Amino acid sequence: MKTPFDLLGIPENATDEAIKKAYLQKVRQYPPERAPEQFQTIRAAFEAIKTQQQRLKYQLFHHEPPSLNALLEHAQQNGTPQRPTVELLTQALAESLNRPPK
């Protein structure tokens, strides 16, 4: 299944302006009069990620969550105590989403 980022042809770290530009370019390529299905798909992709808040929401809720075992293994590999810290959980979650931790 393609992500909204794939459909618009942009990287996941694209800015609001880059997303809008890619959306308008796709709309010119697939106008609603000639390609209504593609237009609806493009419109839905744009609506899902058009602002930073919507991108964060998409990234949080449309990825496979990391398994508990993966989080625990990550904590054990780093030589941490049995109860991982918030920082380690954040790092493990970021790694599972293939993004660098902030």
Consecutive 10-residue averages of pLDDT for the chain (102 residues): 91 94 96 95 96 89 71 67 71 69 48
Residues 73, 41 share a domain: no
At 83, list the tokens: 């109860």
Which residue range forms the structural domain that includes residue 70? 64-102
Residue with tokens 């496979």: 64
pTM of the model: 0.61
75 shares its domain with 26: no
Instruction: Tell me, yes or no, whether 14 and 25 share the same domain.
Output: yes
Structure tokens at 25: 């370019």
